[in-house]
Amino acid sequence: MNVYFHTNIDAYKTNCFPERLDRVPRIGEKVSVVNVFIDYYTKRGLPLILEVVNVIWHENYAVCELGFTKISLDIARSNGKNLYEL
């Protein structure tokens, strides 16, 4: 089954997440950006790991919606950053 990732966070590109997975991630599990994009997001101060907040199942594929983890938001807030504005 193909797994596609979707996020409403404009800073993340659609191809920065894994393309081939053995199984569909469940809500609450974490997904990391692929190695090629680690430097790109680190330099911009964005988290490398996002959380699956919703899974939409279709006949031949699933779409996982991703969002920031609570800990990423808390760390950013304590540093005076708003991740949604980066």
Query: Which band of pLDDT confidence, cut at 50, 70 and 90, is reported for residue 59?
Result: very high
Q: Could you report the per-residue pLDDT of 66-76, keeping only the tens digit for each?
A: 999 999 999 99
pLDDT for 13 equals: 85
- Strand 49-57 versus strand 30-32 pairing type: antiparallel
Task: Please tell me the total count of domains within the chain.
Answer: 1
**Residue 64 is part of which domain span?**
2-85
Q: What is the DSSP string of 1-45?
A: -EEEEEES-TTS-GGGS-S--SSPPPTT-EEEPPGGGHHHHHHTT
Q: Could you report the per-residue pLDDT of 14-37, keeping only the tens digit for each?
A: 789 998 888 999 999 999 999 999
3-class SS of residue 49: strand
The phi, psi pair for 32, rounded to 5°, reads -100, 150
In this structure, which amino acid lies at residue 3?
A: V
